[in-house]
Chains A and B, each alone.
Chain A
Amino acid sequence: MTDQALGALEATAKSQPMPKAMKTNLIFGLGIVVLIAVTAFTSDAFLTERNLTNVARQMVTTGLLAIGMFVVIRSGGIDLSVGSTVAFAAVLAAGLQGTMPVAAAIAIALSVGVIVGLINGILIAYLRLQPFIVTLAMMGAVRGAVYVYSETPTYATSPFFLKVLGAGKIFGTVPVPFAIFLFCIPVVWVFMTQTRSGRAIMAIGMNPETVRLAGIDVRAKITLAYVICGFFAALAGVLLAARLGISQPSVGVAYELDAIAAVVIGGGVLGGGGGSVAGMFGGVVALAIIDNVLNLFNVQSYYQQIVKGLIILVAVLVRRKPED
């Protein structure tokens, strides 16, 4: 009897246009392509191998941080401590090389990231503290720990660390750190969209109670998200140390902001419920190219900051959901 009515509902449900977020991503993608094309025509320096390699290298730190930030933001949280974790991992990775094998130094640096993430996760998931506050506190505490370890810069000495991990190129063109970043992107995509844990993290960002009532251990999954974020922050720190050879304890200040910006430009929603790995990657690339273009046109760094701020606002504005 009401089959007809239901049929009608069905029909209206099926004839839906492309999701708005996807359209926006396409438009943003086109925007970047246009920007690249225009810059290529107006600046001789842009499409040179040296410049592009530079862009790729500079993308790595923000990119790896954005990966971790993406996971945390999808879970409904945020992590402000990544910049300090970058510094800790960088200073440790370089500083420990003198006393132990380089592999051990790297392993310790990465474990520190995992431990910071674990502390964040436990405080947030099990003790129910707010992510913003917890990671803000960790940002300060970890930065302090870096200075306790070393007030002065540490220097990397291992040839493998500097020549291969830092300055190495695959096929003579692709910088090794950039290759590692590129490799991480599909890994995270598979994790977030194709595994139970990843889907659970995304669902938690939509409604944690529903997920809990579905019998999933929400606290463990949230903790996992922060551990992942901490790991990628440490990885970013290690690769930064390898690229620069010298690790300042002050490195990484405000890096979390670029990471958050990349995720948000890519459609991420603070508080969970939006954004894709592809979008996040696009956000990272966009930020890097915009930085580079502004540099090529000799825009003063203060103006650069203004331009970047505006771009973030525009991105959020375009993605704004229509009021219900």
Chain B
Amino acid sequence: MDRIDLIGLQKRFGGTVALKDATFSAERGEVIAICGENGAGKSTLMSLLAGSRQPSNGWIEVDGNPIRIGTPHDAFDLGIRTVYQELSLLPDLSVAENLFLGEMPVTRFGRIDWRRLIADAEDEMWMIGMPEIDVRRKAGDYPVAIQQMFEIAKAIQPRPRLLILDEPTGVLTQRETDLLFERIAELKADGTIIFYISHRLDEVLEISDRLIVLKDGATVDQMTRAEATKDRLIHSMVGRSLTTIFPQRRPPTDEVLLQVRNLSAPGVEEVSFDLHAGEILGFSGLVGSGRSETMRAVFGAEPRSAGTVELHGVAITSVTPRAAMNAGIGYVTEERKTDGLALDADVLDNAALASLDCHKSGPFLNRARQAEAVGQMVSRLDVRPRDLGYILRHMSGGNQQKVILAKWLLMKGLKVLILDEPTRGVDIATKVQIYGLIADLAAQGLGVVLISSETPEVLGLAHRILVMRSGRIAAELNPETTSEHEIFVAASGVEAQAA
């Protein structure tokens, strides 16, 4: 594949146009960044290339010849490989089997050739720079960041001609990101075309040769890396310049809202902290450092082996989410698709889930009042489309996240809101909205716990930063005086040579 041309690609789902006009081309060895807000049509575009959907209009040409990509299998035959944003590994299968799922080597008799499979998989892990991985182990035994590297290894092991990476670094730590970039450079030298989708503008500017901007389903701007600036990108993506990304911080009160003492749980050891009313408390740390585990234990979603959790000085003794919610704690989880949402239910049902008790007539739910409350919240958070009957599965990540936020903000007596990676897979415009919302909530006297792997986010929003390492709190830092570098050093526990 020396050249691929996308010509007037269009995709309609019933009445809605998800992709209006995607037209651009790429040549051998080019890294093309595809930028755009959520709902701009990036995922739809990728699904057309991956063969999982068919365009309603327009076509794709490879080396000047129109082609049809009818199934994922066709895409494979053309050498098109995709790494999806959501992990798609089978956690109960070995790493090796996951890597070669579609093309397991077999012996002459049709039996799977385990020895070759293991050897090939080990070669793959060696090439991607992680020779220490035991490919016989189950994929699910490894942390999410490593699993994402498996996904990438799976996509690049047959030497793709076109590699599509959809938010590949979302869950990666710096180490894996570096490994990924090295591999991209190698593939590029080898002539592979790479489509790189990411919300991280710094990353996109670092890695791409050319940048394509999608807005409202159409390619609205193209530029080479030399021409590109962050401001121009944001301007084309959002249609306006973003002067300040992070809102002003208001000082927190002295009132202690949430008090956690010597909390221990699986993956958590003797964690203590206070959260004040009006405070945004940032939690940093590497993937698997125990941030989410701590919060799950606080929320009662995971058993605690020791320690106390008090709200306004009243201990929450029973370890259930119900008890935590009754005390006024809300929890936006990390994995919105698996435990944050009922994907096949609509906006109303999802958003009303944590406040079912508030809108009742006698023993029955009062749907009208529910709809009214949800409707107000949905417009306050600017969820699009503003349709309470819209099914969550069809929404973009940013809007799904807003629905989850709406669910918790509707909860009666909310005092503490725990946000676990609230902006993962969310476009920049929505991010800014969520930042504003977090600051507003704190200003109204809520206590907010913010777990985020995006260090600038924690630095820009939090009043204090707690850095976790191996289940313990390793450092408490002041965002006014600390730096990304210092946080990284505290999180990894090793003096970094170059972070």
Contacts and interface: CB of A to CB of B under 8 A. Distances in A.
Interface in B94-143: 97, 101-104, 106, 110-112, 132-134, 137, 141-143
B92 A215 contact: no
A18 to B, nearest CB: 14
Contacts of A9: 142-143, 146, 288
Nearest to A273: B92
B175 A199 contact: no
B286 A216 contact: no
Contacts of A199: 97, 104, 112
Interface string A1-27: 110111111100110100000000000
A206 B101 CA distance: 13
A190 B278 CA distance: 62
Given A1-B175, A8-B470, A213-B72, A207 B102 contact: no
B134 to A, nearest CB: 7
A203 interface: yes
B73 interface: yes
A151 interface: no
A2 B93 contact: no
B90 A215 contact: no
B288 A207 contact: no
Chain B contact-residue range equals: 35 or more
B496 interface: yes
B50 interface: yes
A211 interface: yes
Contact of B84 (A5, A203, A213): A213
Interface residues of A, number: 30
Contacts of B355: none
Contacts of A209: 88
A195 B113 CA distance: 9
Contacts of B331: none
A191 to B, nearest CB: 10
A1 B496 contact: yes
Given A1-B497, A5-B494, A213 B90 contact: no
B101 A190 contact: no
A214 B101 contact: yes
Interface string A195-207: 1100100010011
Contacts of B275: none
B76 interface: yes
Interface in A198-230: 199, 203, 206-207, 209-217
Given A8-B470, A203-B101, A14 B134 contact: yes
A261 B112 CA distance: 30
Contacts of B137: 13-14
Contacts of A206: 90-93
Contacts of A207: 88, 90
B403 to A, nearest CB: 22
Contacts of B133: 10
B322 to A, nearest CB: 14
B492 interface: yes
Given A2-B286, A190-B111, A196 B104 contact: yes
Nearest to A13: B141
A203 to B, nearest CB: 6
A16 B141 contact: yes
A217 B73 contact: yes
A203 B106 contact: no
Contacts of B308: none
Interface string B436-450: 000000000000000
Contacts of B492: 1-2, 5
Nearest to A211: B101
Among A2, A16, A207, A211, the one with the most B-chain Cβ atoms within 10 Å of its Cβ is: A2
A2 B92 contact: no
Contacts of B470: 8
Interface string B261-293: 000000000000000000000000010100000
Contact of B493 (A5, A213, A216, A217): A5
Contacts of B146: 6, 9
A16 B93 CA distance: 16
A209 B143 CA distance: 22
A300 interface: no
A83 B56 CA distance: 46
Contacts of B110: 195-196
A110 B269 CA distance: 61
Contacts of A8: 470
Given A195-B106, A196-B104, A215-B102, A10 B132 contact: yes
Nearest to B101: A214
A217 B51 CA distance: 13
9 contacts: A1-B175, A4-B493, A13-B142, A14-B137, A199-B104, A207-B88, A213-B84, A214-B154, A215-B103
Given A4-B494, A211-B90, A213-B52, 11 more contacts: A9-B146, A10-B134, A13-B134, A14-B134, A194-B111, A195-B110, A196-B112, A207-B88, A213-B72, A215-B76, A215-B103
Interface of B: 50, 52, 72-73, 75-76, 82, 84, 88-93, 97, 101-104, 106, 110-112, 132-134, 137, 141-143, 146, 154, 173-175, 286, 288, 470, 492-494, 496-497
Which 3 pairs across A and B sit closest by C-beta, in order of nearness?
A214-B102, A215-B102, A214-B101
